[in-house]
Every structure is written in structure tokens, then in C-alpha cells.
Structure 1
Amino acid sequence: MSWNNQGGGPWRSGQGPWGQGPGGAQPPGDLEETLRRLQAALRGFLPSGGGFAGRGVIFVVLVAILLWFAWGFYTVQPNEIGINLVFGANHGKTQAGLNYNWPWPVGTVIKVPVSDQKITEVGYRSELDAAAENGRNRAAAPEESLMLTGDQNIVDVQFRVSWQIDPAAPENFVFNIRHPEETVKAVAESVMREVVGLKKIDGILTTDRQSIEPDVQTRLQKVLNDYHAGVLVLQVQLQSVDVPSQVLSAYRDVTAAQQDQQRAVNDAYTYSNKVKPEAEGAAARIRLEAQAYRQQTVAEATGQTSRFNQVYEQYKNAPGVTRERMYLETMERVLGGMDKTILDTNGVAPPVPYLALDALQPKPAGAAK
């Protein structure tokens, strides 16, 4: 055999097939010498006759084992996380790049796309439609969208949930839930029905729409966390919120009547706010005038009483003089503003005729007035 020509076997002089001895690496020869040694080593393992000999079988087995171990290398993409399984048990996670795990059937690798965003539609189904503005058309699913409000009305709610696999716990997504998309959809529909059932239809159709989305997202995330589903809810978007088409016309009539009622109430409040201040102002003015009149009357009465008391005190001191002064003051007040002629009837001689010349003279307009 060929190894006998090399001095005692395929590795002569204590060297291995790659030119290395038991003491360590040896200086490499040229390329032809290395190839010649490799060919000699392979011929030493291969059988010389027909069929496989023992060394040939061992060589094939070793090559198969090496190939089996090499099969354990795998690549994880940037948007993925690898989960290593050994005999079906979880043995950790691997990040993007080249990684290794035991080959099949000892080990397997599950690659989870944690960065891919998924959309779950509730109450409708998106369909491709070239005639639509965005290229998609929505087909209604009333068995999912019709919900009961807190005031016993029915509302048609269509919404979508954007979610992805939680990068921190992809193993929960793989092992804890069997049908993740169906689970997310069922939980989202249940949570939306709960939130809608707490509100009235008027608020849902108008002012409460902005608060429904974050409320549903928070509740949905909490339920999925309780399930250990490994799902991260990114956003909840209401696509349409309206009353069912069967009662749309009746609801619009009711809404118009409610708006008319509210307008009438507002007009009444406006009139009340206008008339009431005017009435209150008039009442306040009357009260102030009455108080002023009372104060004036009391002040005049107090003054007259004080003057009378003063006159009375003087009258007690000199009755005659006081009586004469009061008489003169009264006559002055009564006769001071009129034309008069005074005759002295106490004299002995007859009265002298008196001609009032000043009455015959024309008076200026201001003086006459």
C-alpha cells in the first residue's frame, strides 16, 4: 500500500498530514509538497480493493460528523432575533449576525421578526381596489363592528391595531400563544367593546373619539401583558365611527331635533341673561332713590326740628321780641317778591294820594321775567 512507501505509515517522521509533528507547528513546505502529502494521507485511508475498508468507513463518518457540526452555523437578519432550542428546550436568544447552535435533530433555531410591524383590522377588511383613492377598499364586517354604547345605542366602530413582537420577550410570543394574530384581534375587539360600553353615543361620535384610542391601547397592552403574549401594541386608530346605516336617517332627524332644542334653550338663556340684569338694575335704582328720599326727608325734618327748638329757646327768653321778629320775617318772606303800596292809617291827617309811577314804566324783558 502507499503508506508503506512513506516509511512506516501515512505520517512519516512523526508528522501529521498537514506537516505538523507532535511537538507543534513545523515550517511549511511549498504548495506542491503539501498537496502531495495530503494525497498520500487520503490514499492511506481509502481501501485498495473493491468496497469500503475499515479506515474508509471511519473517514466517511468523520467527514459526516464535521459536516453535521458545520450545519449548526446560521445567520440572523437585522430585523430578527434567534431562539435556540436544544431537544425542544429554550437555550437563549441570539442577535443579528452569524451564530451557532446544535444542528438538527439535537437543536433547532426559531427566527422571530421582531422589527416587522403587523396590522390587525377589526370591523372591516381591506381589499385591493384600483378605483379607490389609496388603492384599497374596505369591506364591512358588521359582526365585529356593531357595538352597544352606555346609553343603550348601537354604533358602528371600525379600527385597526398596529403591533409588533416585543423584542424583550420574543420567546413569549413563540411559546405562550398558539394563534397570535387571532388573539390580538379578539382581545382588541373585546377591549373596544368595553370602552364603548362606558360612553354615550353623542360623545363617541363627537368629542370622545380622541380619548378612545389611547384608552383602548392602554387596556389592550395590559391584557396582552397578563397573557404573557410577547406583543407590543404600537397604535390604535379609529377608521370610522358612525351609527348603523339602517337607522342613519332617523338618527340624523333626532340629532337635528336635539340641536333645535339646544338652540331654543340657548336663546332662552340669552334673553334671561339680558332681561334679568336690566330688572335688577331698575330695582337697585328704585331702592337707591327711596333711600336717598328717606335720608333727605329725615335730614329736612331734623333740620326743621332743630331750628324750631332753637327758636323756641329764644322765644322763652324774650317772647315779645321773638314774636315780633317772627312776624317780620314771615311778612318779608310773603310780601318781599310782589308789588305793594303801604298806607299809614294811624296818622291824624288824611292819607296822601300816591301814584305808582314805576308800574307805568316799561320794564326790560329780564327784569319783567
Structure 2
Amino acid sequence: MRSTQWRRSPATDGRHRVRLFGAHCTRGERMRCPAVHIRVTLLGLILATAVLPTRAGQADVDVSVPDLQGSSFDDLMSHASRYATTAEKRRMKHLARAELKRRGERFLRYLVSHAGIKNVWFSIYAREMVDWLPSEKAVPVLLDLLNAAHPEVRKMAAYLLGFYHAPQYWERLLPLLEDEDVAGAAIRTLGKWQAARAASRIADFLQDDNERRRILAVNALGDIGSPESIPSLFRMLDDPACTVRRAAVRALVRIGPAAERPAIRELARSRGRKQREVIRVLAYLHSRRAVPRLRRLLSSADCTTAADAARALAVIQPSRFTARGKELQARCGGCPCITLAGAGFPPLEQRD
């Protein structure tokens, strides 16, 4: 076999040459020898081939399912709520979740009872359990927790009740309207239950200093759908917060045809931002009765009002809007308010 000549290393001399797997090289150049590299690689492949079956056998042993039925809720939640960064952690997370779900309403009680710690995983799993548990198992648990000492527990229980149709318990929520921490959740659930007899109590929150609470009250009145709430909702179209105004638009549209004639009357006597919100209501109601009044608003001195009237007409009578749109464009020129007129209003957004 032809020998390979190697360059002498500055740090060594010929007396320090060593033999590795039959190849000669100096001590400082061992890992630079091609023959050594190839043979070490081959040896590694041989060892890997021999070791892999053993590893596979160990893996078969590791996948045995642990008995979690005797584990506490805390132990199971420590697995179910951890960030599973390894295969073993992911396996335990999956098994713990399955065991917790098997415990049904007991797990729901555990989750809601710990709402005060504000761990996002408790909220996530509570919401999942509400989707999975039937009403006859979950509702008694949640009703019982309305009397809990911690306000966050009462709040979560009142909120989750809104995902079940249990209007026969509406009176259980009325005392919570006096609870500063829980009133918002109670308002939402009463709306979901369409508790018409609670509408007057809910309407009191339309004047609340808290914007979020005003939105919840508006949404609840829209869900209840009582025509008696229409005047109150029209007043909310002039709320300082745009979020409240748009919630009132959605609520009036949800009430439906009963709001059409009051909206036409309101269009004539309102001005500014309130009038523009009334225009939106009429557009989403597809009110043909409002078309003559909307056409007159095309000549409004306020270009934003004129543009909103044009957008409403584009929704109500799209086939007849083209000529009116060109007329408005010619009058207002390059006003940026006109750029959206031809597209009408965007679809009315939905909420949960």
C-alpha cells in the first residue's frame, strides 16, 4: 500500500509520529488525516447501528402510561399548564389533560375556585370545560360559586354561565349587579339569557363612568331585543366613546325592523356624529323608507355626513347609487371623505 507523506508539524518532529488505525501522522495532525477521518466515521456508524436497537427498546419501556387517577388536581395542573419543551413533558401534559377532563364538573369547580390566582391556563381550561360539559352538570357548580368569597371567582362563574342557556336562573344574577367587581359579567350573562325583566336594571349602566360597562349594557339590551330599549339605545349614539356608539348601532340593528321608524325620526332631528351613526343604523337595516332623506343629505354642508349618506345609499340601493356618487364626487372634488362612499359600509362586525 502506498504510504502518504505528511507535512512536518512545527510543534513536533518525526519521532512523535503515531499510528491510528493503520495511518501515520504526527500528534498535532491526527484529525487532519483523511484516512483517520474516514475510519472514525465508519466506526461511529457501526456503533450507532449496534446501539439504536437498544435505544428503541428503552423507548418502548418509557412510553408506559403512568397511573394518574390518584394524582391531586394540583399535581395534574402542574403538568397540564407547563410549557412542554421535551417529548416527555408533552406526553405528561397530554395525559394530565385527559385525566382532568375525565373528572368533569369536579375539574370545573377546581378551575373556577382558583380564578383569583389569574393564571391564564386556568381560564383557558375553564372555557374548554364549559364547551364540553352539559348544562345539567356545569350550571349547578357555577351557580354555587356565585356565592364565593373571592370576587374573581364570582366574576368567572357569572361569566361562564352566559355560555349556557339557563334563563330560569336570571334572578340569581340580580344581586351581582350591585357587586362592583362582578356587575359586568352579570350584565353580559343576563343579556345572553335575554332576561327581559332585567332590562330596566341593565339600562341603569348606560350612564356608568366605565366605558367597558356601558358597552356591556348596550350589548345586553341588544341581545334582549326589547323595543322598549330603543330610545335609550338611540341616546347612546351620541356617547363620547366611539366603541359605545358602534355597540349601540349593532344593538339597534339586532333589534331589527322595530328600530327603523324611530331611526328615520332620529335622522331628522339629530346632527353631527349622532346623525352619522343613525345613518349607519338605517344602512344596516336596508331601510328603503329612509332613501329620500338620505338623498337630501347628499347636499349637506358637512362632507362627512354627505359621504356617510352616500355610503348608506350604496348599501340600500347599490344599482341606483352610481349617478349619485358621481354627483357627489363632482361637488366635493378631491375630498378624502368621498373615497369610501362607493364602497358602502363594511359588514356589521359580530361578537361572541
Give the TM-score normalised by the residue count of structure 2: 0.22
Q: Which has the higher contact order (CA 8 A, sep 6+)?
A: 1
Larger Rg: 1
Give the TM-score normalised by the residue count of structure 1: 0.21
Name the structure where helix makes up a greater proportion of residues. Answer: 2
